[in-house]
Chains A and B, each alone.
Chain A
Protein backbone atom coordinates (compact mmCIF):
# COMPACT_ATOMS: atom_id res chain seq x y z
CA UNK A 1 0.00 0.00 0.00
CA UNK A 2 1.45 3.41 -0.92
CA UNK A 3 2.48 5.57 1.99
CA UNK A 4 3.90 8.96 2.87
CA UNK A 5 7.44 8.69 4.20
CA UNK A 6 9.27 11.25 6.30
CA UNK A 7 12.92 11.63 7.22
CA UNK A 8 14.47 11.91 9.69
CA UNK A 9 12.26 10.36 12.36
CA UNK A 10 13.96 12.49 15.01
CA UNK A 11 16.02 15.65 14.64
CA UNK A 12 17.78 17.47 17.45
CA UNK A 13 19.07 20.93 16.64
CA UNK A 14 20.46 23.93 18.44
CA UNK A 15 18.40 27.09 18.67
CA UNK A 16 19.11 29.37 15.74
CA UNK A 17 20.13 26.57 13.41
CA UNK A 18 18.38 25.75 10.14
CA UNK A 19 16.60 22.43 9.73
CA UNK A 20 15.10 20.72 6.72
CA UNK A 21 12.43 18.10 7.18
CA UNK A 22 11.86 15.82 4.24
CA UNK A 23 8.81 14.02 2.94
CA UNK A 24 8.02 11.78 0.00
CA UNK A 25 4.27 12.04 -0.67
CA UNK A 26 2.26 9.34 -2.41
CA UNK A 27 3.19 9.48 -6.08
CA UNK A 28 -0.13 10.29 -7.75
CA UNK A 29 -1.21 12.82 -5.13
CA UNK A 30 -1.51 16.47 -6.04
CA UNK A 31 -1.93 18.28 -2.73
CA UNK A 32 0.73 18.34 -0.03
CA UNK A 33 0.56 19.58 3.53
CA UNK A 34 2.62 20.14 6.62
CA UNK A 35 1.02 19.92 10.05
CA UNK A 36 2.60 20.02 13.46
CA UNK A 37 1.67 18.81 16.93
CA UNK A 38 3.27 20.37 19.96
CA UNK A 39 3.35 17.91 22.85
CA UNK A 40 -0.05 17.70 24.50
CA UNK A 41 -1.74 19.94 21.97
CA UNK A 42 -3.81 19.45 18.85
CA UNK A 43 -2.52 18.79 15.35
CA UNK A 44 -2.27 22.19 13.62
CA UNK A 45 -2.22 23.06 9.95
CA UNK A 46 0.91 24.86 8.75
CA UNK A 47 0.80 25.02 4.97
CA UNK A 48 -0.68 23.49 1.85
CA UNK A 49 1.08 23.19 -1.50
CA UNK A 50 -0.32 22.59 -4.95
CA UNK A 51 1.04 22.97 -8.44
CA UNK A 52 4.43 24.03 -7.12
CA UNK A 53 3.19 26.87 -5.02
CA UNK A 54 1.73 27.53 -1.58
CA UNK A 55 -2.07 27.48 -1.73
CA UNK A 56 -2.68 28.39 1.90
CA UNK A 57 -0.65 28.98 5.04
CA UNK A 58 -1.53 29.47 8.68
CA UNK A 59 -0.41 32.31 10.91
CA UNK A 60 2.15 29.91 12.39
CA UNK A 61 3.88 29.69 9.00
CA UNK A 62 5.87 32.90 9.22
CA UNK A 63 8.96 34.04 7.32
CA UNK A 64 11.10 31.50 9.16
CA UNK A 65 9.32 28.68 7.35
CA UNK A 66 9.48 27.71 3.71
CA UNK A 67 8.43 24.72 1.63
CA UNK A 68 9.76 23.35 -1.60
CA UNK A 69 9.22 20.49 -3.99
CA UNK A 70 12.69 20.45 -5.50
CA UNK A 71 12.57 17.36 -7.70
CA UNK A 72 8.98 16.30 -8.26
CA UNK A 73 9.03 13.65 -5.55
CA UNK A 74 10.39 15.17 -2.34
CA UNK A 75 8.50 17.82 -0.38
CA UNK A 76 10.53 19.70 2.19
CA UNK A 77 9.86 22.02 5.11
CA UNK A 78 12.68 24.35 6.06
CA UNK A 79 12.88 26.29 9.29
CA UNK A 80 15.51 28.97 8.87
CA UNK A 81 16.38 29.83 12.44
CA UNK A 82 14.84 27.43 14.91
CA UNK A 83 13.37 28.55 18.21
CA UNK A 84 12.67 26.48 21.32
CA UNK A 85 8.94 26.71 20.60
CA UNK A 86 9.42 25.01 17.23
CA UNK A 87 9.93 21.74 19.11
CA UNK A 88 7.07 19.52 17.95
CA UNK A 89 6.09 16.54 15.81
CA UNK A 90 5.89 17.60 12.19
CA UNK A 91 3.62 15.60 9.92
CA UNK A 92 3.60 15.65 6.16
CA UNK A 93 0.38 14.68 4.39
CA UNK A 94 -0.81 14.28 0.84
CA UNK A 95 -4.09 13.74 -0.93
CA UNK A 96 -5.28 13.05 -4.44
CA UNK A 97 -7.18 16.28 -4.91
CA UNK A 98 -10.53 14.67 -5.62
CA UNK A 99 -13.36 16.27 -3.70
CA UNK A 100 -13.91 14.92 -0.20
CA UNK A 101 -11.00 12.56 0.06
CA UNK A 102 -8.84 11.84 3.04
CA UNK A 103 -5.31 13.03 3.59
CA UNK A 104 -2.63 10.39 4.14
CA UNK A 105 -0.09 11.22 6.82
CA UNK A 106 3.52 10.26 7.26
CA UNK A 107 4.86 8.89 10.53
CA UNK A 108 6.20 12.29 11.54
CA UNK A 109 9.51 13.90 12.41
CA UNK A 110 10.10 14.76 16.02
CA UNK A 111 12.00 18.06 16.11
CA UNK A 112 13.72 18.94 19.34
CA UNK A 113 15.28 22.39 19.60
CA UNK A 114 17.77 22.77 22.45
Chain B
Protein backbone atom coordinates (compact mmCIF):
# COMPACT_ATOMS: atom_id res chain seq x y z
CA UNK B 1 0.00 0.00 0.00
CA UNK B 2 2.14 2.82 -1.33
CA UNK B 3 0.29 5.97 -0.38
CA UNK B 4 3.39 8.08 -1.04
CA UNK B 5 5.49 7.21 -4.06
CA UNK B 6 8.92 8.35 -5.09
CA UNK B 7 9.33 6.49 -8.33
CA UNK B 8 12.89 7.50 -9.16
CA UNK B 9 15.37 5.82 -6.82
CA UNK B 10 18.24 8.11 -7.73
CA UNK B 11 19.16 11.39 -9.38
CA UNK B 12 22.56 12.75 -10.40
CA UNK B 13 23.07 16.43 -11.23
CA UNK B 14 25.99 18.76 -11.83
CA UNK B 15 26.92 21.26 -9.15
CA UNK B 16 25.21 24.59 -9.78
CA UNK B 17 22.35 23.08 -11.75
CA UNK B 18 18.79 22.51 -10.61
CA UNK B 19 17.75 19.29 -8.86
CA UNK B 20 14.08 18.33 -9.18
CA UNK B 21 12.83 15.56 -6.93
CA UNK B 22 9.32 14.27 -7.50
CA UNK B 23 6.73 12.68 -5.26
CA UNK B 24 3.19 11.41 -5.85
CA UNK B 25 0.51 10.50 -3.34
CA UNK B 26 -2.74 8.61 -3.54
CA UNK B 27 -4.51 9.46 -0.29
CA UNK B 28 -6.65 12.56 -0.89
CA UNK B 29 -6.91 13.08 2.88
CA UNK B 30 -3.26 14.15 3.05
CA UNK B 31 -3.06 17.90 3.53
CA UNK B 32 0.44 18.53 4.85
CA UNK B 33 3.57 17.51 3.02
CA UNK B 34 7.19 17.52 4.10
CA UNK B 35 10.61 16.83 2.67
CA UNK B 36 13.31 15.29 4.82
CA UNK B 37 16.97 14.84 4.04
CA UNK B 38 18.94 11.91 5.40
CA UNK B 39 22.66 11.24 5.54
CA UNK B 40 23.96 7.72 6.26
CA UNK B 41 23.90 6.78 9.95
CA UNK B 42 21.79 9.83 10.82
CA UNK B 43 18.10 10.40 11.34
CA UNK B 44 15.92 12.27 8.85
CA UNK B 45 16.35 16.05 9.03
CA UNK B 46 13.43 18.32 8.19
CA UNK B 47 13.98 20.42 5.09
CA UNK B 48 10.79 22.15 4.01
CA UNK B 49 7.03 21.65 4.14
CA UNK B 50 3.86 22.79 2.45
CA UNK B 51 0.24 22.89 3.47
CA UNK B 52 -2.46 21.97 0.98
CA UNK B 53 -3.80 25.53 1.05
CA UNK B 54 -0.65 26.63 -0.79
CA UNK B 55 0.88 25.57 -4.07
CA UNK B 56 4.40 26.80 -3.43
CA UNK B 57 6.72 27.31 -0.49
CA UNK B 58 10.23 28.64 -0.74
CA UNK B 59 13.11 28.60 1.71
CA UNK B 60 16.44 29.76 0.35
CA UNK B 61 17.65 27.33 -2.30
CA UNK B 62 14.73 24.97 -1.66
CA UNK B 63 11.26 25.31 -3.16
CA UNK B 64 8.42 22.84 -2.86
CA UNK B 65 5.56 22.86 -5.36
CA UNK B 66 2.23 21.17 -4.76
CA UNK B 67 -0.25 20.21 -7.46
CA UNK B 68 -3.30 18.94 -5.58
CA UNK B 69 -5.31 17.97 -8.64
CA UNK B 70 -2.46 15.74 -9.83
CA UNK B 71 -1.60 14.63 -6.29
CA UNK B 72 1.99 15.53 -7.04
CA UNK B 73 4.67 17.52 -5.31
CA UNK B 74 8.21 18.35 -6.21
CA UNK B 75 11.27 19.71 -4.48
CA UNK B 76 13.53 22.06 -6.42
CA UNK B 77 17.06 22.74 -5.25
CA UNK B 78 18.76 25.66 -6.98
CA UNK B 79 21.71 25.82 -7.23
CA UNK B 80 22.62 22.26 -6.24
CA UNK B 81 25.74 21.83 -4.10
CA UNK B 82 27.84 18.73 -3.38
CA UNK B 83 26.74 18.92 0.27
CA UNK B 84 23.16 18.33 -0.91
CA UNK B 85 24.10 14.74 -1.77
CA UNK B 86 21.86 12.63 0.47
CA UNK B 87 18.65 10.60 0.47
CA UNK B 88 15.54 12.78 0.23
CA UNK B 89 12.26 11.52 1.63
CA UNK B 90 8.85 12.87 0.78
CA UNK B 91 6.34 12.51 3.62
CA UNK B 92 2.67 13.29 4.02
CA UNK B 93 0.21 13.59 6.86
CA UNK B 94 -3.39 14.36 7.65
CA UNK B 95 -3.62 17.47 9.83
CA UNK B 96 -4.75 16.66 13.30
CA UNK B 97 -3.59 15.91 16.77
CA UNK B 98 -1.72 12.76 15.83
CA UNK B 99 -0.21 13.69 12.45
CA UNK B 100 1.81 10.56 11.86
CA UNK B 101 3.97 10.72 8.76
CA UNK B 102 3.68 8.42 5.76
CA UNK B 103 6.98 8.27 3.89
CA UNK B 104 8.01 7.52 0.35
CA UNK B 105 10.95 5.20 -0.34
CA UNK B 106 13.36 8.07 -0.84
CA UNK B 107 15.52 9.39 -3.68
CA UNK B 108 19.31 9.33 -3.55
CA UNK B 109 20.60 12.64 -4.88
CA UNK B 110 24.21 12.88 -6.02
CA UNK B 111 25.57 16.30 -6.87
CA UNK B 112 28.74 16.07 -8.95
CA UNK B 113 31.39 18.75 -8.40
Interface residues of chain A, those whose CB is within 8 Å of chain B, are: 4, 6, 31, 33, 35, 41-45, 48, 50, 55-56, 91, 93, 95, 97, 99-100, 102-108
In the complex, the chain B residue whose C-beta lies closest to that of A37 is B103
User: Which of A6, A31, A43, A100 lies in contact with B89, CB distance below 8 A?
Assistant: A43
The number of residue pairs between A and B whose CB atoms lie closer than 8 Å in the complex comes to 62
Q: State the majority secondary structure of interface residues on B.
A: loop
Segment with Cβ contacts to A, from B16-24, B36-44, B59-67 = B36-44
Q: State the majority secondary structure of interface residues on A.
A: strand
The answer, yes or no, to whether B14 is at the interface (CB within 8 Å) is: no
Do B98 and A41 touch across chains, with their CB atoms under 8 A apart? no
Segment with Cβ contacts to A, from B45-53, B68-76, B77-85 = B45-53
Do A91 and B43 touch across chains, with their CB atoms under 8 A apart? yes
Can you offer 25 A-B residue contacts whose CB atoms are under 8 A?
A: A4-B43, A6-B43, A31-B97, A31-B98, A33-B100, A35-B101, A35-B103, A42-B103, A42-B104, A43-B89, A43-B101, A43-B103, A45-B100, A48-B100, A55-B98, A56-B100, A93-B101, A99-B95, A100-B32, A100-B99, A102-B34, A105-B45, A106-B43, A107-B42, A107-B43
Q: Provide the residues of chain B in CB contact with A99, threshold 8 Å.
A: 95
In the complex, the chain B residue whose C-beta lies closest to that of A108 is B43
Q: Provide the residues of chain A in CB contact with B97, threshold 8 Å.
A: 31, 50, 55, 97
Q: Provide the residues of chain A in CB contact with B105, threshold 8 Å.
A: 41-42
Interface residues of chain B, those whose CB is within 8 Å of chain A, are: 32, 34, 36, 41-46, 49, 51, 89, 91, 95, 97-106
Interface centre among B49, B100, B103 (most CB of A within 10 A): B100
User: Which of A100, A102, A107, A108 lies in contact with B95, CB distance below 8 A?
Assistant: A100
Question: Do A50 and B98 form a contact, CB below 8 Å, given A100-B49, A100-B51?
Answer: yes
Q: How far is the CA of A31 from the CA of B93 in the complex (A)?
A: 14
